[in-house]
Chain A
Amino acid sequence: QLQLQESGPGLVKPSETLSLTCTVSGDSISRSTYYWGWIRQPPGKGLEWIGSIYYNGNTFYNPSLKTRVTLSVDTSKNQFSLTLSSVTAADTAVYYCARNYCGTTTCYTEYFQHWGQGTLVTVSS
């Protein structure tokens, strides 16, 4: 059974870099039909897509964060990662990693079916 687990510091200081890793178990991160994403949710607010990365390393970023975000994949560890630089209090949120939806015969790249439990990252000095 596919599982995703976010890991990383729960507290980051303003102006520093937030780094999170999503460890995938139960399947290979390298399958060509899989597409991995990061979504965040400030406390009490809605969902914001941060960016997505394909198995081959192709990336897509939210323009609102593009200058500060980098996504990467480590196939040897079955992990993908998020770094967000120059953080402020506005970056305080629960960060989710997710994988796209695959039905019985087709995979759909930009819909997210499998999610990690989420990890709260607080930006504060």
Chain B
Amino acid sequence: EIILKQSPATLSLSPGESATLSCRASQSVSSDLAWYQQKPGQAPRLLIYDASNRATGIPARFSGSGSGTDFTLTISSLEPEDFAVYYCQQRTNWPLTFGGGTKVEIK
């Protein structure tokens, strides 16, 4: 099973600041990685697929990068609605696995 480790666990930032979230895989997942956003009481929302492609309707302030074992989600200028928990997910090997999440909270 591929383990995804996300860091930091919590990121405290102010609106307008930039956020950088990390996801590290226990073995190479090539570019088979997605990022999701989840707000309290809601289902996850797909933001990024194949490491760097924005899903339909996702604002340009969200960007993904990386390949192999190290990946980054960047939110260029935090909007109030961006404060949430973010998860990465790999699809290279079964079982599909998710990282433990990074909470982006208002400072």
Question: CB within 8 Å of B: which residues of A?
Answer: 46-49, 52, 60-64, 96, 98, 101, 103-104, 108-113, 115-118
Contact = CB atoms under 8 A, between A and B. Distances in A.
Given A46-B87, A101-B46, A118-B43, A113 B55 contact: yes
B96 interface: yes
A116 to B, nearest CB: 7
B34 A46 contact: no
B91 A47 contact: no
Contact of A111 (B1, B87, B91, B101): B91
Contacts of A48: 98
Interface in B40-60: 42-46, 49-50, 55-56
Given A47-B87, A49-B98, A108-B49, A116 B43 contact: yes
B15 interface: no
A14 B65 CA distance: 44
B49 A47 contact: no
19 contacts: A47-B44, A47-B87, A47-B89, A47-B98, A61-B95, A62-B95, A63-B95, A64-B95, A98-B43, A101-B46, A103-B55, A110-B91, A110-B96, A111-B91, A113-B46, A113-B55, A115-B43, A115-B45, A117-B42
